[in-house]
Each structure stands twice: as structure tokens, then as C-alpha cells.
Amino acid sequence: MKPRISDGNDTRETRRLATLLEVSQALSGTLNLKSALHRVLEILAKRHGALRSMVTLLGEDGELAVEAADGLPEPQSVRYRIGEGITGKVVESGKPVAVPRVSREPDFLHRAARRAELSREELSFVCVPILLSRKAVGALGVDLRFKPERDFDSSVKFMGVVASMVAQAVKIQRAVEDERRRLLAENTHLRQELRERYDFSNIIGTSGPVREMYEQVAQVAKTNTTVLIRGESGTGKELIAHAIHYNSLRAKKPFVKVSCAALPESLIESELFGYEKGAFTGAHARKKGRFEMAEGGTLFLDEIGDINLATQVKLLRVLQEREFERLGATDTVKVNVRLIAATNQDMEKTIAEGKFREDLFYRLNVFTIFVPPVRDRKPDLLLLADHFVEKFSREHGKIIKRISTPAIDMLMAYHWPGNVRELENALERAVLVCEGQVIHGHHLPPSLQTAEASGTVTRMSMADSVAGYEKDLIQDALKTTRGNRAKAARLLDTTERVFNYKVRKYAIDAHRFRT
């Protein structure tokens, strides 16, 4: 027998392959799912004799809604519940259905097109599920002209291929949508974080001295008074300066910071006041100073105690007259800027040494806020510690539930010369090296492990370190079991006898943990 070059079946297969190629191009051509699906349905109409067709997808409400339709008068109003009508059944079962004669099918709802009205000719209906990870997320349904000789098996297979291509497009669209939602959430989170950072309420602490400080901030924020913030290094002066600005009427205007100590003497004036073109070699164009940049807002002069005497004179004038000249300029610039200054120096001493002008100090010292050192606000220490543990756990993606009792004792015993900044650094380090859910004493920096700090050991020998760790573990277990020694022993996988021996050895008061 001679091989047949072409017969009815072959031309049908070729036509179908061409259709699939077009379908795949339509789906990959755009990220807009709706318009891509429209194209697909048009192709099915043109190439495959689909009289009407639609793609339904499951919505979040658990109902099927039309995502795209061709040849239907009012597709947007068509909805099916799962199991309802042929479409609903296909999605429920995940299996395709072919209805050779629609007029004889009682399940056929005629919802989509009031088909009976549209045509009096007999129709066939093929509906295939759109499957993602073997779960139906929708259906593709087409109306075909009824032909007694039609091979429905082959039609269903072909539509199944189209549906699987549609499923891929749905999958990509959902991934894109998820990514967009994730970015949106991240953005909201970042904005929230920004608000928190400058909001008053993110200043942790409820101790007496801190409450006093809050009151002062609240008092002075809404005024235009110059504020001097004094306090040791790392106590949170910058945080207070932010809080004042963002709680003032100038909150929407710029907050400009100048780190006086970080700028070389020769640069500070041009930084503050700006310069005209040609004011000095290298001044190629006019430049605005920080005072002008802060127009309408707040200028924060950090470490004001470090500025040189010549600049002090100029600053005094700005404070008195609210005007200055750019370097190399003759005309005067008027500014509306609120000044906040901060220093950790003993200003009285600096003045006595002749390094700071007394008159400028009085101008700055209109309203002074003292930020207390950590050692004077011990009650806040745990709040701050918890706050930082939570913050850094979140940042480093760890789940740390608490700080162990001995570690807390160590935190409390230490004198914190570097104040909140030192505490913040210590706890970031602890979070980083912590391998479990609890911060232990040995996670804290060496400066806290000294005899002076912990009041326990003179030199860390191995035996002492192990003993310290063992004590930590025992106290932790007792805490978890609320002082129940038998349970605590089991928790540590040891016998009650050994456990009790160690409790006595380390002079641990188990009663302390009963609540």
C-alpha cells in the first residue's frame, strides 16, 4: 500500500498544530492575561469553528467567573458555583466533559448565552478543566456546531492541550501578581518603619527620667524655640532631635543634619552657609548651604561643642538675626529655620577653657533637654533589650523568644558607658551568635563577662565557662517548668538526682521560679 500523503485526519492535525502555535504565541505575547485569553478564544473561533467560547476562573469567593469570552452577549454577569452546570462539574471533578447534543442535556444551564435564543441549530459543548498542580482552577468551554460524525475524544484532547497552555499563563500571571503584592506589602512595611523611626512612640522607655524627657519634647516641639539636647554619647540625642522635628509644625519640611565633628574646620562654613561661584578655588558654581536647604524646617547641629570659634561667631549672628551671607556673596540671605543642637561635651568646662563662646551657648541654651544615661534609667534596660532583640531577630530572620535570667542579670550589672548604642550593638551581636531561641550569658560581649560586670568570676577558665553555661541551662529549665525540678531534669535529659546536685552546687534558688 502506498503511503498516503494527506487525508482528512492529517489536514485536521496540521490545522490543530498551527492553532496551538498561534495560541502559544498569543499567551506569551503579553502579561495581560485577559487580553491574551481573548486572543486565544478568537483563534479558536477562527481556526477551530468555535461558535462561542469562554474561560472561567475560580475567584477568591470560590465561584467561577468569566475571565474571557468570545461570542457571548453579557459574559460579565455569568457565574457558576463549583458543581453547578457542566462548567461547575468540570471544575469540581477536574475531568473534561463533552456534550454532543446540548438540547438533550438536562445539566446544561444555558446561562452563558441563552443559547436557545441565539440559534436554533443543534450545538455540541466541550468543556475542559484548567489545571494547576493537578487542581482545577477554572475551565475552558466551547460551543461547536453539531456534527454527527465528530470525534469528541480528539476534540477533548485538543482542548485539553489549549487549556494546559492557558494554565501556564494563569500560573505566570499569579506569580507576577504575588510578586506585586509582596512588593506592595514590603513598601507599606518600609513606610510604616519610616514613620515609626521618627515617631515619638518608638523612643523606648517608661522610667521617671525618660518620662520627664518626653514631657519636655512635647512641650517644646510645637514652638520655634532653639533646643539644646545634652547627654552622653549613645543616649539617643539624635532620636530626640527627630522626635522634636516630626512632632513640630515643621514636620513636612526638611530635617537637615550637620555633623559638626565630622567636617573639617575649613569646610564647615561653606557647608552651613553655602558659597557663591568663585568664592574660592574650586567653587565652580553657587552652592546652597544647609541653612538654606533646611528652609521652613529644622537644622540639627550635632556635636555643636566641636565647632571652631570663627564659625561660632557666624552662628551667633544667624541665631540673633536669622540672616547670613553665603561665602563670597554680598547680599544677605534670610532664613526661617528652627535650630536644634546636640552635644555630649561638658559645655561649662569647654566655655571655661575658652573653646566655646559663652554668648553663643546662652543663645543655644534657651531650652535644654537632658537625655539620661542608661545607668540612671535601669528600669528601661529590659524594655530596651527586648526591643532590640525583637528588632534584630526580625532583621536577621531569627526566632528568639527571650533573654535568659543570668543574661538579664549581666545586662543589669553592667554600667553601659556607651549607653543605648552600646546596648544595641551588644544585642545585635547576641542575636547573631545565638543558635537557639534564648539569649544566654555567653552570647553577650566579653566586656559584660568580666568579674566587675557579672560579679561572679575573676578569670574565665574553661571550667568556669562550662559551669556558667550549665547554670544558665538549669535556670532556664527551671523557668520553663516554673520551678518544677523533676520536669526540668527531664527537659535537660538528666536524672533528678544529678539535677538536684547541680542546683545545690550552683546555689540556685528553685523557689524563685515558682509563679
Ligand X SMILES: Nc1ncnc2c1ncn2[C@@H]1O[C@H](COP(=O)(O)OP(=O)(O)OP(=O)(O)O)[C@@H](O)[C@H]1O
Judged by the rule CB under 5 A, the positions of this chain that interact with Mg ion are: 238
Query: Pick from 87, 344, 405, 454: which binds ligand X (CB under 6 A)?
Result: 344
Of the pair 63, 238, the CB lying nearest Mg ion is at: 238
Of the pair 417, 455, the CB lying nearest ligand X is at: 417
Does 204 help bind ligand X (rule: CB under 6 A)?
A: yes
Partner whose binding site includes residue 89, from ligand X, Mg ion, none (CB under 5 to 8 Å by kind): none
Whole-number minimum distance, CB 368 to Mg ion, in Å? 16
Whole-number minimum distance, CB 434 to ligand X, in Å? 20
Does 351 help bind ligand X (rule: CB under 6 A)?
A: no
Q: Give the C-alpha separation, 384 to 234, whole Å.
A: 13
Whole-number minimum distance, CB 353 to ligand X, in Å? 20
Could you tell me which of 349, 371, 337 has the C-alpha nearest to residue 241? 371
Q: Specify the stretch interacting with ligand X by CB under 6 A; choose among 6-14, 158-166, 197-205, 217-225.
A: 197-205
Please tell me the number of Cα atoms within 13 Å of 324 on its side-chain side. Answer: 29
Query: Per-residue DSSP letters for 402-446?
Result: EE-HHHHHHHHHS--TTHHHHHHHHHHHHHHH--SSEE-GGGS-G
Of the pair 173, 344, the CB lying nearest ligand X is at: 344
Query: Closest residue (Cβ) to ligand X?
Result: 236
Whole-number minimum distance, CB 256 to ligand X, in Å? 16
Query: Pick from 236, 274, 289, 372: which binds ligand X (CB under 6 A)?
Result: 236
Q: Specify the stretch interacting with ligand X by CB under 6 A; choose among 64-72, 126-134, 150-158, 234-242.
A: 234-242
Whole-number minimum distance, CB 372 to Mg ion, in Å? 15
Does 231 help bind ligand X (rule: CB under 6 A)?
A: yes
Does 96 help bind ligand X (rule: CB under 6 A)?
A: no
Could you tell me which of 210, 205, 239 has the C-alpha nearest to residue 380? 205
Of the pair 103, 192, the CB lying nearest ligand X is at: 192
- What are 262's three cell numbers? 565630622
Does 173 help bind ligand X (rule: CB under 6 A)?
A: no
- What are 286's three cell numbers? 553657587
Residues 415-444 that bind ligand X (CB under 6 A): 420-421, 424
Instruction: Identify each DSSP E strand in 327-401 by its residue range.
Output: 332-334, 338-343, 367-370
Cβ-proximal residues to 368 (8 Å cutoff; 6+ apart), any chain: 227, 228, 229, 230
The SS3 of residue 356 is coil
Of the pair 163, 420, the CB lying nearest ligand X is at: 420
Does 257 help bind ligand X (rule: CB under 6 A)?
A: no
Residue with cell 485539553: 160
The SS3 of residue 274 is strand
**Alpha-carbon radius of gyration of the chain:** 38
The sign of the dihedral angle between the CA atoms of 299, 305, 306, 308 is positive
Whole-number minimum distance, CB 234 to Mg ion, in Å? 8
Of the pair 140, 371, the CB lying nearest ligand X is at: 371
Cβ-proximal residues to 282 (8 Å cutoff; 6+ apart), any chain: none
Could you tell me which of 312, 93, 320, 122 has the C-alpha nearest to residue 226? 320
Positions that interact with ligand X (CB under 6 A):
203-205, 231, 233-239, 344, 384, 420-421, 424
